[in-house]
Amino acid sequence: MKLLRYGPMGQEKPGLVGPDGEIRDLSGLISDISGANLDDQTLDMLRTKDPKNLPLVDGAPRIGACVNNVSKVICIGLNYHDHAAEVGAQPTPEPRIFMKASSAICGPNDNVEIPRGSSQTDWEVELTIVVGKKAKYITEADAIDHIAGYCLANDVSERDFQIRRSGQWVKGKSHDTFCPLGPWLVTRDEVPDPHNLDIWLAVDGVRRQNSNTRNLVHSVPVIVSHLSHFMTLLPGDIILTGTPAGVGMGLKPDPLFLKPGMTMELGIEGLGQQSQITVSA
């Protein structure tokens, strides 16, 4: 299934994508797409419903973040071999963990703000894991059972804040709108191999990132199991798994950073696409 949230900001309703790409309303069955409704039993119940018997959503409503009430936004750094190489770093023997504020989450096509004082706002397309079941001290073999599905995210980053502002990476990762999420949460049964998906991002029509998730350093089961040994993963938590080469700070000889009025377009095979325009904060 492809689950989504649609409607004005702060008033989103749960929905799913029907067989012809239409949006069908789920608000008569569940209250939201959030951790409370991402367990296997609820997802199995939704699968039994014929989309054609669900209310059709007219028009082209705004699409919100595909998961609501996210308690943690966990990120894995330098997790593509080519990206580590372009920034002159070595892949780490264990997943490198950092966090984004959950207040950074926004809809997949909402405007992205350039923070005040920013000089190096950058882009990062990422495969994102959505946790479906509480996970603590789980094995790699059991990790997939704790995943509700996957989605697309843009890990927007202010590099000057991230690297040179006397702190951990979270300073450069957490501005409002720095985590566009969606358009869909695609349940894990429709993504049989998350390690073989084309992934790309373009800025003002120029393809900057073009890779495949087979280039991940640490796999999805490794990431989920590893994290569960350091924190309890809760239903609805999201895990951004890293970005491939082609970020703005890695472009040579001249890095490129985002300014107001630019457009980012990005996608992952089977998980949909996003499009954002940058604006001043």
Q: Are residues 94 and 149 in the same domain?
A: yes
**61 inside domain:** no
Element (H, E) at 54: none
Q: Are residues 31 and 101 in the same domain?
A: no
Q: Are residues 21 and 142 in the same domain?
A: no
Q: Are residues 41 and 79 in the same domain?
A: no
Q: Are residues 10 and 133 in the same domain?
A: no
Count how many domains the chain has: 2
CA distance 281 to 107: 17
Q: Are residues 121 and 235 in the same domain?
A: yes
Look up residue 216 and give its DSSP letter: B
**66 inside domain:** no
pLDDT in tens, the chain (281 residues): 999 999 999 999 999 999 999 999 999 999 999 999 999 999 999 999 999 999 999 999 999 999 999 999 999 999 998 888 888 888 889 999 999 999 999 999 999 999 999 999 999 999 999 999 999 999 999 999 999 999 999 999 999 999 888 878 899 999 999 999 999 999 999 999 999 999 999 999 999 999 999 999 999 999 999 999 999 999 999 999 999 999 999 998 999 999 999 999 999 999 999 999 999 99
**131 inside domain:** yes
First-last CA distance in the chain: 35
Q: For position 99, which CATH number holds?
A: 3.90.850.10
pTM of the predicted structure, to 2 decimals: 0.97
Q: Is the dihedral of CA 208, 108, 130, 154 positive or negative?
A: positive
**138 inside domain:** yes
Q: Are residues 134 and 231 in the same domain?
A: yes
Q: Nearest to residue 97, comparing CAs of 247, 237, 276? A: 237
Classify residue 42 as exposed, middle or buried by CB count within 10 Å of its CB (0-12, 13-18, 19+).
middle
Q: Are residues 15 and 82 in the same domain?
A: no
Q: Are residues 49 and 77 in the same domain?
A: no
**58 inside domain:** no
**59 inside domain:** no
The answer to whether 16 touches 42, Cβ cutoff 8 Å, is: no
**68 inside domain:** no
Look up residue 242 and give its DSSP letter: -
Domain that holds residue 42: 2-53
Q: Are residues 184 and 261 in the same domain?
A: yes
- Whole-angstrom CA distances from 224 to 124, 146, 171, 220, 237 are 20, 8, 24, 6, 11
**67 inside domain:** no
Q: Are residues 123 and 217 in the same domain?
A: yes
Q: Are residues 41 and 94 in the same domain?
A: no
How many helices (H) does the chain have, and how many strands (E)? 4, 18
Please report where in the chains the tokens 């998906």 appear, as a residue.
Answer: 197
Q: For residue 214, what are the contacts with CB-CB under 8 A and spacing of at least 6? A: 195, 196
